[in-house]
Amino acid sequence: MSALFQSSRLFDALAAVWLAALFAVGGQADAAELLMFEQAGCPFCEAFDEEIAPGYPDSLAGQVAPLRRVDIHADRRGGIASLRPAVFTPTFVLLDDAGREVGRLQGYPRRKWFYPEIDALIARLPPGEPVSKTAFD
């Protein structure tokens, strides 16, 4: 195996362990959230819908930060006045349980890189960040 492939697998395994630990500590109603700014006709939004969206709610990332879609033409801030406006679609913005931006991913890097990028954002959440109550139902 190549060193790059081995390090990628190690990163994936460590990210899964970290997310599982974060997943286990939460359970409160206020939770982190992943905003997705999108627009009709966006080919990258459509690729996300095909490759990631069906399984996202069941993923560890989806349990920690449920997805909320926002039409970029209707609201560039996702209803949060202090949020820097989204400019491109898709733009993914991770919010903590207080509605503060933790980080963002502009564009969709395809299936191979989406979860590593989102997991890196989730790793920035404060320790003990509450997760969605639906994760425990």
Q: Is the pLDDT of residue 107 over 90?
A: yes
Which DSSP string corresponds to 19-70?
HHHHHHH---SS--EEEEEE-TT-HHHHHHHHHTTTTGGGSHHHHHS-EEEE
Model confidence over 2-56: pLDDT tens digits?
A: 454 455 555 554 444 444 444 433 333 368 999 999 999 999 999 999 999 999 9
CA distance 135 to 123: 18
Per-residue pLDDT tens digits for 49-82 = 999 999 999 999 999 999 999 999 999 999 999 9
Range of the domain at 77: 3-136
Regarding predicted confidence, which is higher, 7 or 86? 86
CB 94 within 8 A of CB 88: no
What is the number of structural domains in the chain?
A: 1
pTM: 0.74
| DSSP-derived 3-state class of residue 96 | coil
Specify the CATH number for the domain of residue 114.
3.40.30.10
